[in-house]
Amino acid sequence: MYSLPRGVDAERELANILWNKGFAVIRGPASGAGTRRRFQPDLVIIKSGKVAVIEVKRTSELPVYIRPEQVLGLSEFAKRAGAQAFIAVRLKGRKWLFFRLDEVKTTRRGGFKVEGKGIDLNGFIVDVLGFKKLTDFM
Amino acid sequence: MYSLPRGVDAERELANILWNKGFAVIRGPASGAGTRRRFQPDLVIIKSGKVAVIEVKRTSELPVYIRPEQVLGLSEFAKRAGAQAFIAVRLKGRKWLFFRLDEVKTTRRGGFKVEGKGIDLNGFIVDVLGFKKLTDFM
């Protein structure tokens, strides 16, 4: 039994979680639509002018690898927006981990990856974005 | 000769214009994908933490009509994001006009529409969003 969702379903799952916590959430158009003039992140979340831009990855175990154009695109988008940038990793069991873009590591072959403990969903919302605890919304 | 682009092409045109002016721009997923749990605006543009959320319409002449769920969705999204909300109208000849969401009028039948002079592209960027003149980027 393979319990990882499809990429688009993982994005939708996280979008719904954050929307239900009161964020404005927008998902980018489907990936892989050929050459693009503009980088389109998977998710942008906003609350009261505070912006986070997110690439969503799913994996059964870390590390997870990130394409160079995603790292560069995310960085450029975040700079324009004045946003924080993250890689959100969907693991089995509906578990999410968040990594800041500046925690991304280079591989020996010059690629990019994230690994390590990361930040859990609650920590992401409360500590990173500075919003109320999840329980305050319940 | 019908010189209006398809809806998706109008969105892409405006996204490219604004991206080239230095904004972070994200287009929502294609419309009409059935029932949605979250409202997805056509465009969200961000610069240095300042956010505008936009529904794109195209028409050969004003007024242009807006569905109630778009007005409500845009309003809710803008409130969550701390954003300004606009209807962007693409007319013939690559002409764009912008209307603030609070300028939307009700029709006699209880629908919604925009009409009137609106704000042109340069005014939208300079006066409304408070950024530099287009010529400053050239």
Cβ contact (<8 Å) for A19 and B38?
yes
Q: Which residues on chain B are in Cβ contact (under 8 Å) with A15?
A: 38
Question: Predicted confidence band at A25 (pLDDT cuts at 50, 70, 90)?
Answer: very high
Q: Is B130 on the interface with A (CB under 8 A)?
A: no
Question: Cα separation of A75 and A78, whole Å?
Answer: 5
A98 close to A124: Cβ distance less than 8 angstroms: yes
Enumerate domains of chain A plus CATH numbers. 7-137 (3.40.1350.10)
Where b means 16+ CB within 10 Å and e means fewer, B52-89 reads bbbbbbbeeebebebeeebbebbbebbebbbbbbbbbb
Q: Which residue of B has its CA nearest to A51?
A: B49
Hunting for tokens 């998706």 — which residue is that? B8
Cβ contact (<8 Å) for A26 and B44?
yes
Where b means 16+ CB within 10 Å and e means fewer, B31-47 reads eeeeeeebbbbbbbbbb
Q: Is B29 on the interface with A (CB under 8 A)?
A: yes
Question: Predicted confidence band at A135 (pLDDT cuts at 50, 70, 90)?
Answer: low
Question: Cα separation of A46 and B47, whole Å?
Answer: 13
A83 close to B24: Cβ distance less than 8 angstroms: yes
A96 close to A14: Cβ distance less than 8 angstroms: yes
Residues in chain A: 138
What are the C-alpha distances in Å from B15 to residues A75, B30, B134? 19, 14, 15
Q: Is B135 on the interface with A (CB under 8 A)?
A: no
Of the partner residues A28, A40, A46, the one whose CB lies closest to the CB of residue B51 = A46
Give residue A136's pLDDT. 57
Q: What is the mean pLDDT of chain A?
A: 88
> How much is the pTM?
0.87
Question: Cα separation of B72 and B79, whole Å?
Answer: 11
Give residue A34's pLDDT. 43
Of the partner residues B24, B30, B82, the one whose CB lies closest to the CB of residue A80 = B24
